[in-house]
Every structure is written in C-alpha cells, then in structure tokens.
Amino acid sequence: MSYHLIDVVQSLGQPRVLVLGDLILDRYIWGDAERVSQEAPVILLREQDVESRPGGAANVANMLRGLEARVCMAGVVGADADGEVVRQSLVDAGVDCSALLCDSSRPTTVKQRFLGRAQYRYPHQMLRVDRETRAPLSAEVAAELLVHLRTQLDDCQAVLISDYGKGVCTPEVTRQLITEARNRGIPVIVDPPSSGSLSHCHGATAVTPNRLETHRATGRPIENAEDAFAAGRQLCATLGLDYAFVTLDSDGIALTLADGTSQLLSTRRREVFDITGAGDMVLAMIGLGAAAGVAPDDLARLANVAGGLEVEHVGVVTVRRDEITADLLRGGRSNGEKICDRKTLVRQVEARRGTGQRIVLTNGCFDLLHTGHVRYLKEAAAEGDCLVVAINSDASIRGLNKAPDRPLFSQEDRAEMLAALESVDYVVVFDEATPHALLEEVQPDLLVKGGTYSDDEIVGREVVLSYGGQVKPMGVTPGVSTTTIVERLRASAPGGPAAIPFPEETDKPVRERKAG
C-alpha cells in the first residue's frame, strides 16, 4: 500500500482550494524555566525567543501551501496589528487573500503560548493566554463575505471549512457556501468546532471530527472503532454526507461511507512531541486529496501520515509532500508492490529522488537465481538507497539467441523471486534486447553489473554516463555461477549429463549477438 500511496502523492497536482474559517494568530514565547519565582509559587520563564505563526483556518491555508496547493483564504481579521501579521504571513506563503476581510468591530483571535525548557530538554507548553470574540459576524460583514466566496468558487476544486467557533462560520454563510459548492460539483470538507456543532453543515461532502467533537455531535461516546463507525453512520444519515472521517488520534481514522460501509485506517505509532495543529494538517491533507479526486480510503491513509508527521514536531509546522513520500518509503512495502511497470517505476523513482535518495539499477536475465546473485544484489543495494532490478522478458531472452528452452523460469516467476529479496526495492521487466531505453527513462544514479565485466563492457554504460551517472562492475562470487550449477545438475542426473538437455550458457551475456 505504501507504493500505491506514493503514486497518489505524485499525482496530486496543484489544485486550487478555498478555505473558509476562523483565522488565529499563534504566538509562541520560548524560554528557560529556570526556577520558582520568589513572588509566588509559579515557574519563572526567562524569555529567549518570540515567534508568530498563522493558526486556525489560516494554519490550514498555510499547510495547504506546504503541500503545494493553490489556496484562497476567506474569513475575517480585526483592524489591528495582529490581523496584519496574519494576513502578511499568508501573503508571504503565497496564499490569495482577496477574500480576507477586515472587521473593526472585532479583534483578531490570538493564542499566546508559553513554552519552557527545563535543564535544556525539549520545551513543553506551560500556559496559553487567548484573546478572542465568539460573536457571530454582523449581517453586513457576512453578506460581503458571501459575495467574495461566490466569486472564488469559479476557480477552485475543493472547499474546506475550518470552524473554530469564533463567529465567522455562521449558519447562513456555511449553508449557502455548501449549497453553491455542491451545485457546482465541488467537494466540501468541514472540520467542526470543539462544540461538535454540525447542524449547519447539511449537504457537505465529508466532516472530520475528533473523538470529543464526534461525541458532542452525536451523543455517542467514542471508545473504539465500532463506536466511531456507528457515529459515522449517524452523521452521514442526518447530514446527508458522502462520507465521514472520525479521527481517533493514535488509533487512526474511522471512515464511514453513506452506504454504511466502514473501515478503520490505522496509523503507525510515533513519538509525540506536540498535538497542536494535527487536526489542521488532517483537514489540509484530506482537502488537497479531495480536490485531486483521491478515493476516501486513500484520503484517510494520507491524512494519517501527514497528521503523524505533524505531532512529531513541537508547535505547528508545515509538512511537505517529499516528507510524506519519505515517510511512506520508511513504512515498508509488500513483495507484490515491488514488481511494477515502467511508468509506475519512473514515478516511484522520481518520488525517491525528490527525497534525496540515490538510485541504483542493475539488469539481467536472472534465470536461475543463486547465492552469487543474492550476494551481488546485496552489495549493489549498499551502493545507494534504492535498488532497481530490471529483468529481460521471456521474449527478450529468446531473442538473445539463448537456447530454445530458455528461459528456465517465466518472467513472472523470476520477478517474484527477486522481489522476495530484502535488498531489492523494485523489479521491472523490459522487452528490448538492451536496457538502453529503460535507462533513459529511469536515469539511475548508478548502473551496476555482476560478473566478469570491466567498466567499459557494461551494456548501457554510454547512456548512464551521458546524463552524469556512474557505472560500476560488482565482480563475482568464486565458484558460483549459473554455468557451474547447470553442469552439476547434468553430472548428477540419472542417466548421465545427457539426461538434462540444458544448453551451454554463461552468466555473462554474449554481447556480439545483441543489437547495440
């Protein structure tokens, strides 16, 4: 599944996403928690640094930019310095703020966090001070906001509603936005406020409540996956949703479709430093995927990865696509996923190269896999971060003037045996007499070959060197080769060597009989 998700990440494109919600300025005051104050029994924090970041719906927009989406931010800030800080941070990130209004009757919401280190260890939050209003937007401001929202719908592929309960996502604004977006076939994903209030979200594509929000929205305590499934079915039925994502922190995401089908998409355990921003990251990832037409189950899987990467950091950070790809690569893969066609291989290699990995490729028939092959492939894998094994197809082997009964094993069997090796990351079959075309497509950083080759004898050398790659012979395992194995089988067969009509063969291709 990891390799499939890498393909999904590679195909996301750069859709335009409209974000409506409550913008927040997150301010962090970092310092050393040195001692207890003499004035009162409280920790004395010696300030070392102050940092401001976009929070709430502004954080969702910022995270979407980190994921390479084109983003329009719609909402309201106060006519104050903090509001300008939020706006400018979004503009600097490349967010379109033409639908971001200024309302002098309300302050910009600010969450000020104090983080202290004790004995130079990881910082921990000590206190949070909020400045906010939860009053709904005035009718005049709400009407102006709706005008901007309708204009933005003409050029977006998804709408995200990030409701932090600060008054921007009024029932009237939310209902009209959902109705108009759905009439245009645009998916709408809603992240509810902590109150769990979802009554004004009827007709949305999906919602992303956590355990507590789900409990408050449905009246059902969420203690396990079955509780989440039941709640998801209730939400889909009462709100007319296509599907519901109930986020279960370290247990993953419970996905329920409108037809009642449910599944738990688990996440792997991580070292959690700070859960701040994890919900925003999940919403951003789901929104980006929905805009690109990704299936709901894959949306949940990618959201698990993105949210997991978020909690591994202190404070709110943006997660990039290459970080998601790298995390998926660390998650392992099945043998079946290793065997792929050329188009998939190119996408996968591009994804790996984007994370800084060194790509190694080797090629051959691998018709009789033996210990010499295993050792050489292990050595080849150690030359980089990803080993691609390209094998000649059955037709290709017959075209190389091997014996009539070659290959001994079909290309499917050979690919399966190679994929079972831990050292091998990908297996691809090619039909041509030489790997030249494949090398031009994949462009490995290093081409290696096992056997008694010199550097200039390796087929495809000129292709790899032409784009700045390297070529390296790997040598042989003394006394172990396909030739010697076949000879031993002949000698030990009942009736003598003639009883096994294997052709004379060598591990080293006969280049004189190859085109090119």
Amino acid symbol at 201: C
Does residue 348 contact residue 328 with C-beta atoms inside 8 Å? no
Closest Cα to residue 244, out of 185, 180, 296?
Answer: 296
CA-to-CA dists, residue 477 to 371, 421, 484, angstroms = 8, 18, 12
Provide Rg for the chain, Cα atoms. 29
Closest Cα to residue 275, out of 239, 317, 238?
Answer: 317
Closest Cα to residue 239, out of 275, 270, 196, 282?
Answer: 196
Residue 461 main-chain phi, psi, to 5 deg: -55, -45
By DSSP bridging, strand 158-162 and strand 188-191 are parallel
Three-state secondary-structure class, residue 498: helix
507: annotated active-site residue: no
By DSSP bridging, strand 43-56 and strand 23-36 are antiparallel
Angle between helices 81-92 and 57-66 (to 10 degrees): 20
Catalytic residue among 163, 280, 445, 507: 280
DSSP E strands: which ranges in 399-481? 426-430, 446-450, 470-475
Distance CA 269, CA 281 (A): 17
CA angle 134, 138, 144 (to 5 degrees): 120
What tokens were used for 428?
């691809």
Catalytic residues: 280
